[in-house]
Amino acid sequence: MIDFNYKTNQLIVLLTLAVTAVGWLVTGAFLSGLSIGVGVFLSWALAREIDPKHDYSAILAAGFALINLFYYESVQLLIIGWLLLVLRMVNGLCGKAVTVFDMLLTLGLTIYLSFSNDNSIYLVVFLLAIYLVSKGRRLTRTFVIINAIASVLFLVQSFFLDYLNFHPVSGMDTLTTVFFTLIGLSFILFWFLSREEALDDQGNKVNRSRLFAAQILYSASVLLIFFFDDVSLNNLIIYASVILAVTLYYIGSKLAKAF
């Protein structure tokens, strides 16, 4: 739930509504405008998941995502929503232990995406997330069963249904070059960013190792989806906007303190 006591939360809701209206006017279709507006909101949400310390880095990410107003094709909202659930399951920002319902909900959406897109790469990301969640914890029957279901489905889809296909990069345009550069930098950035003290939704200190795991999972997931699925231009802009915003805000905050 969004806490409207925070100025940044109020700002992102107003921005989402404004972008939806502008997107409607630009594209001439309400659903297209809504997709762009929700895409801006999800850019903010993704940045909050990987950079919980800095509220305004997420606003900056939403600002960069406004580029989608000028190059709109389609925003794969369900994939971004799924990625948010996966990250939320790993980083522990809700301040509560991951429940069976959380894992089953994410597994259900993962299975849906894998079958609807004929692509088992989503199960790979889910299995990575389950591994990170279970790391350092006692393996319960629930973990074993959920892991077994996802593993069996991955094997069936990949080897019997041919749902796993690598897509090599045929050419490096400007956006692709920027995307790969940002992904490469993110692995260095996240090491420093995870050292920053941040608070979860309950006001407690964030577990830094869990946050770092989720940050690395974000970049790894985006890379896997890029190479094994058809990523829309608008989703690519959103993924890149998040990393660019978090990077620039982190550097800016350090420079501001230094000078």
Q: Which tens digits make up the pLDDT trace of 33-64?
A: 999 999 999 999 999 999 999 999 999 999 99
- Residue 183 is which amino acid? I
In the structure, what pLDDT confidence band is assigned to residue 200 with cuts at 50, 70 and 90?
Answer: confident
Q: Which tens digits make up the pLDDT trace of 105-148?
A: 999 999 999 999 999 999 999 999 999 998 877 778 888 999 99
Q: Which tens digits make up the pLDDT trace of 73-89?
A: 999 999 999 999 999 99
The pLDDT value recorded for residue 2 is 67
Q: Is 31 exposed, middle or buried (0-12, 13-18, 19+ CB in 10 A)?
A: exposed
Which residues, 6+ apart, have CB-to-CB distance to 107 below 8 Å?
A: 126, 146, 149, 150
> Which residue reads 């990170």 in tokens?
132
Average the pLDDT over 168-195 and give the result. Answer: 89
Please state the φ and ψ torsions of residue 96, each to the nearest 5 degrees. -125, 160
